[in-house]
């Protein structure tokens, strides 16, 4: 298969996925193995205490992540990635809870 054919097939799959005409369970989420927690927090222009309180992290855990003493687990990395990419969606979800 040529590079063009691979790209075309990928585009067809993406369109089908966006239109909801494929089974979403056939696709795997790609959760980052690392994330810059401090950069995510700063992009929201929040203090450590405000960020931790808003998104349900303990302040100690947040500080550990930012200072490299520990790394976020997979669900936390996923939440942080969504906060980074789609903060409005997270805001809607947490304000509705």
| CATH code at position 76 | 1.10.260.40
pTM for the model stands at 0.70
Per the structure block, which two tokens stand in for 5? 């054919």
**Pair (23, 66) in one structural domain:** no
**Pair (16, 63) in one structural domain:** no
Residue 97 CB-density burial (10 A; 0-12 exposed, 13-18 middle, 19+ buried): exposed
In a domain, 88, yes or no: yes
Confidence of residue 67 (pLDDT cuts 50, 70, 90): very high
DSSP 3-state helix, strand, coil percentages of the chain (rounded to 5)? Answer: 65, 0, 35
Let me know: does 37 contact 62? Beta carbons within 8 Å: yes
Per the structure block, which two tokens stand in for 88? 């409005």
Q: Where in the sequence is the domain holding 79, given as residue range(s)?
A: 37-96
**Pair (53, 23) in one structural domain:** no
**pLDDT beyond 90 at 12:** no
**In this predicted structure, what is the pLDDT of residue 92?**
87
Let me know: does 51 contact 44? Beta carbons within 8 Å: yes
In a domain, 13, yes or no: yes
**pLDDT beyond 70 at 97:** no
Per the structure block, which two tokens stand in for 61? 């855990």
**In this predicted structure, what is the pLDDT of residue 35?**
96
């Amino acid at each position: 298969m040529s590079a063009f054919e691979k790209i075309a097939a990928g585009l067809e799959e993406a369109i089908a996925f966006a239109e909801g005409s494929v089974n979403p369970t056939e696709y795997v989420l790609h959760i980052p193995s690392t994330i810059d927690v401090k950069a995510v927090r700063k992009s929201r222009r929040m203090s450590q205490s405000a960020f931790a309180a808003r998104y349900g992290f303990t302040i100690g855990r947040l500080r550990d992540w930012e200072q490299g003493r520990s790394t976020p687990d997979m669900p936390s990395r996923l939440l942080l990635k969504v906060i980074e990419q789609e903060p409005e969606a997270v805001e809607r979800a947490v304000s509705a809870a």
